[in-house]
């Protein structure tokens, strides 16, 4: 082989190297754009699980990896510009969660791989074509699981045996909230519970919503959507003042003072998202990686909140809980 041809082939091989190999050999550092719907503090458990798993897979910030963080702080309208900024920065992967952020990222780029750590119904919301074959530049993990709404209502009824009136706190600007509300309404109808829904658009609406629902419900079902997650301490404070037991979809709201939660373990899902990112950085195409569904669920009870509400949690319920916060 002529020397000139050999040099050309060697150069071509360098271009074809997976990003992981180039990063390990002192070349371009892999760059992840992490788009969070809340705040750094509010999502610290999820991002910590994500970063820890990346480290286990050989990706360390400052050595072969850079993570650019952007936080919408519960303001959905900020997501589009943040996603566009990642495109301008030419990040290698965009990592995000829930429903509005992946949709914003997908609208901003059809080329940069996108991984969502959680999404309520990624097919119906238009994030992916199907779970088995997502297609395009997007993949991730769906937080949707059969009959979680029914299981939450069952737990509420065991704690509040005479439950007849339930309020739902929702976000009118979140497309996934409509599906969640419909599931709760269907499950409630089956067991004869009357449901009233209160929708908010911004954090400032929370106080008015609680004033409006005063005396109209015996328990409150809080949807797991970014706006409500970002304002979980405020919601828990109002609920305690109104003496309303609350049911949530993720443990973080119970840690903030909510009564109970049942649903997918989000830190575990963020950890799994790191595995998908690792595959993509090593050459896999996101559209060919099936969307995963949750495999780990948590049932968490805040006993301090129960005492403040004057509720006696049955021993059988406490024994079934994955964690009891006292």
Each residue's pLDDT tens digit in the chain (326 positions)?
Answer: 444 444 344 444 333 345 554 454 456 899 999 999 988 988 899 999 999 999 999 999 999 999 999 999 888 899 999 999 999 999 999 999 988 899 999 999 999 999 999 988 899 889 999 999 999 999 999 988 768 999 999 999 999 999 999 999 999 888 788 888 999 999 999 999 999 999 999 999 999 999 999 899 999 999 988 889 889 999 999 999 999 999 999 898 999 999 999 999 999 999 999 999 999 999 999 999 999 999 999 999 999 999 999 999 999 999 999 999 98
35, 80 contact by CB (below 8 A): no
Of 164, 226, 173, residue with least CA distance to 196: 164
* 71 contacts: CB under 8 Å, gap ≥ 6: 36, 38, 39, 40, 43
Angle at the Cα of 139 from the Cα atoms of 79 and 124, rounded to 5 degrees: 75
All domains of the chain, ordered by start, with CATH? Answer: 3-144+266-296 (3.40.50.2300), 148-264+298-325 (3.40.50.2300)
Of 122, 131, 84, 85, residue with least CA distance to 100: 122
Q: Compute how many other C-beta atoms are within 10 angstroms of the C-beta atom of residue 129.
A: 15
Bridge partner list, 281: none
- Please tell me the predicted confidence (pLDDT) of residue 1: 44
CA of 190: how far to CAs of 151, 181, 198, in Å?
A: 12, 14, 21
* 314 contacts: CB under 8 Å, gap ≥ 6: 158, 159
Bridge partner list, 195: 166
DSSP letter string, 66-120: EEEEEE-TT-GGGHHHHHHHHHHHT-SEEEE-SSHHHHHHHHH-SSS-EEES--S
pTM of the model: 0.82
Please state, in angstroms and rounded to a whole number, the distance separating the CA atoms of residues 59 and 254. Answer: 32
């Amino acid at each position: 082989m002529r020397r000139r041809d050999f040099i050309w082939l060697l150069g071509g091989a360098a271009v074809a190297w997976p990003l992981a190999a180039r990063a390990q050999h002192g070349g371009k550092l892999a760059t992840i754009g992490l788009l969070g719907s809340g705040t750094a503090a509010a999502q610290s458990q999820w991002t910590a699980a994500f970063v820890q798993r990346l480290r286990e897979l050989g990706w360390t910030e400052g050595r072969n990896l850079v993570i650019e963080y952007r936080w919408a702080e519960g303001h959905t309208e900020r997501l589009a510009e943040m996603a566009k900024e990642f495109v301008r920065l030419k990040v290698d992967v965009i990592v995000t969660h829930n429903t509005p952020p992946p949709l914003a990222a997908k609208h901003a780029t059809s080329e940069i791989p996108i991984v969502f750590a959680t999404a309520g119904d990624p097919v119906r919301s238009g994030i992916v074509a199907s779970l088995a074959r997502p297609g395009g530049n997007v993949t991730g993990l769906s937080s949707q699981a059969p009959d979680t709404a029914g299981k939450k209502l069952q737990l509420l009824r065991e704690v509040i045996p005479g439950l007849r009136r339930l309020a739902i706190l929702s976000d009118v600007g979140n497309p996934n909230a409509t599906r969640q509300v419909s599931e709760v309404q269907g499950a409630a109808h089956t067991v004869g519970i009357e449901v009233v829904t209160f929708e908010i658009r911004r954090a400032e609406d929370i106080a008015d919503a609680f004033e409006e629902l005063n005396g109209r419900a015996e328990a409150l079902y809080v949807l797991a959507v970014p706006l409500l997650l970002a304002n979980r301490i405020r919601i828990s404070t109002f609920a305690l003042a109104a003496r309303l037991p609350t049911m949530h979809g993720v443990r973080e709201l119970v840690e903030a003072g909510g009564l109970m939660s049942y649903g997918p373990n989000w830190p575990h899902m963020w950890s799994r998202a790191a595995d998908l990112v690792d595959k993509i950085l090593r050459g896999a195409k996101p559209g060919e990686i099936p969307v995963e569904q949750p495999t780990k669920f948590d049932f968490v009870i805040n006993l301090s909140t129960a005492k403040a509400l004057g509720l006696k949690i049955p021993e059988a319920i406490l024994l079934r809980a994955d964690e009891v916060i006292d």
